[in-house]
Structures are given as structure tokens and as C-alpha cells.
């Protein structure tokens, strides 16, 4: 069984989707052993506690810069013996000391179709605001491996939704979460834990 460590910063609906999938027996080959939050007040922590999962708070604001914060994260991931790290609404970019120590072992969910509306500064509702401002007719979410460049690692799964003319960022966010994120993130985690993702030439392929 692989040890899955989930990192969160906010509401934790993606964490909840992972917990629910685990309860239904849909995460094959792994189990969530710890939830790490970058904020002490993240509701995601309540979700973890309700599910009986061990929690750790590493508050970003208590560290002077990304490098020292990332070192603390790395130490905790090593202590937890993480086989897979899942960034589920984790709003801090991790320094390369973490990404280099866990190559192709960190998965992120991004609420747009990478390479659109991604990279530094694109997170949470800002992503959906940008998509609506641009006027795209479809959007979606991407589950990908994390490397040293923000939102630039190998894509594992993507899914789309229609953008409607009267959408607000909140409405679009909700449609993408319900239809794509909450389904594809647990699926990608299970595929990883079953060793069904292969990397070739820096790209990820799902073994069927």
C-alpha cells in the first residue's frame, strides 16, 4: 500500500472527493495517511479529522520565504514516508528542493486546461476569472505531475466542461469541480497507486 500525503490550503472539496473515493474502495493500492495544511484555519483540516486522518499544519506565514517553507515541507514528507504527494487546492508553490526529491511523485489538480490559464498567479477563482475574461467556450481541469516550473509538469488526465454566457467565476468553478476535479483527481491517484502511469520523453501515459 502506498502512503498518500494530501496537501491543502482551503475548503478541501478535492480532499473530500479523495476521502469519499477511498471509503468506496476506489483508491486501489494506496491510502491517505496524512493531510498537511499551509493554513491553520483551513476547513480541509476538519474534513481530515472527521475521516480520522492524521493532520499537520505547516503555516506558510510562519516562514520567511519559499525556500525555508519548502525545506519544512520536505522534512515532513520524509517523516511521513510519502510515496505520493497530492496537492489538492494547495496554494503555495513549492521550491525545487521538494520537486527534485519527489520526481513524478507529486500530483496537482489545476482548474483549467493546461497550458491555458496556468502558472504563477493563476490559482482558485483567478483562473476562472481569466477564462471568462478571455471568452473561452470550454474550460476544465488538469491533473498533472509537479516539476520545478509552476503547472508545467506532465499531464495525466484532463476533462472539459462547457462555458456558458452567463457564468460567473463561482458558477464556472463549481461546474468544473463537480464534473471534472472531483472525478479525475481520485482516478489519477488510484492509477498512480496501481503503477499504471508510465513516463516517456517527459510525458505521462496511462496504461490501459
* Catalytic residue ranges: 110
Does 88 participate in binding ligand GAR (rule CB under 6 A)? yes
- The reply to whether 89 sits near ligand GAR by the rule CB under 6 A is yes
Complete DSSP assignment for 105-156: -EEEEESS-TTSS-STT--THHHHHHHHHHT-SEEEEEEEE--SSTT-SPEE
Are 2 and 29 in contact, with CB atoms under 8 Å apart? yes
Burial class of residue 159, CB neighbours in 10 A (0-12, 13-18, 19+): middle
To which residue does cell 495525466 refer?
A: 156
Name the residue nearer to ligand GAR (CB basis): 1 or 115: 115
> Which of positions 144-203 make contact with ligand GAR (CB under 6 A)?
173, 177, 181
Does the footprint of ligand GAR cover residue 123 (CB under 6 A)?
yes
Total of chain residues touching ligand GAR, rule CB under 6 A: 17
HSE-CB at 143 with a 13 A cutoff on CA atoms is 29
Shortest distance, position 91 Cβ to ligand GAR, whole Å:
6
Is the C-alpha dihedral spanning 121, 19, 52, 108 positive or negative?
negative
Q: Which of 2, 39, 47, 110 binds ligand GAR (CB under 6 A)?
A: 110
- Compose the 4-43 pattern: x for residues touching ligand GAR by CB under 6 A, - for all others: ------xxxxx-----------------------------
Angle (nearest 5°) at CA 112 between 98 and 11: 65
Q: How far is the CB of 84 from ligand GAR (least distance, A)?
A: 17
- Residue 71 Cβ, how far from ligand GAR at the closest point, in Å? 21
Beta bridge pairs of residue 139 = 161
Interface contacts to ligand GAR, rule CB under 6 A: 10-14, 44, 88-89, 109-111, 123-124, 127, 173, 177, 181
Amino acid at each position: 500500500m502506498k502512503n498518500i500525503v494530501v496537501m491543502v490550503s482551503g475548503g478541501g472539496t478535492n480532499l473530500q472527493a479523495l476521502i469519499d473515493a477511498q471509503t468506496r474502495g476506489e483508491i486501489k493500492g494506496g491510502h491517505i495517511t496524512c493531510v498537511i495544511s499551509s493554513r491553520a484555519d483551513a476547513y480541509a483540516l476538519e474534513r481530515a479529522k472527521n475521516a480520522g486522518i492524521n493532520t499537520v499544519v505547516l503555516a506558510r506565514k510562519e516562514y520567511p520565504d519559499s525556500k525555508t517553507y519548502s525545506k519544512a515541507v520536505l522534512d515532513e514528507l520524509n517523516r511521513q514516508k510519502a510515496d505520493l504527494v497530492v496537492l489538492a487546492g494547495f496554494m503555495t508553490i513549492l521550491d525545487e528542493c521538494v520537486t527534485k526529491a519527489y520526481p513524478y511523485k507529486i500530483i496537482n489538480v489545476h482548474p483549467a486546461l493546461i497550458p491555458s490559464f496556468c502558472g504563477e498567479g493563476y490559482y482558485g477563482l483567478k483562473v476562472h476569472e481569466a477564462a471568462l475574461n478571455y471568452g473561452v467556450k470550454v474550460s476544465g481541469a488538469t491533473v498533472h505531475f509537479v516539476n520545478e516550473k509552476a503547472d508545467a509538469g506532465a499531464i495525466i488526465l484532463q476533462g472539459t466542461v462547457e462555458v456558458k454566457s452567463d457564468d460567473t467565476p463561482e458558477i464556472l468553478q463549481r461546474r468544473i469541480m463537480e464534473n471534472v476535479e472531483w472525478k479525475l483527481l481520485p482516478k489519477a491517484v488510484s492509477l498512480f497507486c496501481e503503477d499504471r502511469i508510465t513516463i516517456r520523453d517527459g510525458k505521462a501515459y496511462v496504461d490501459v
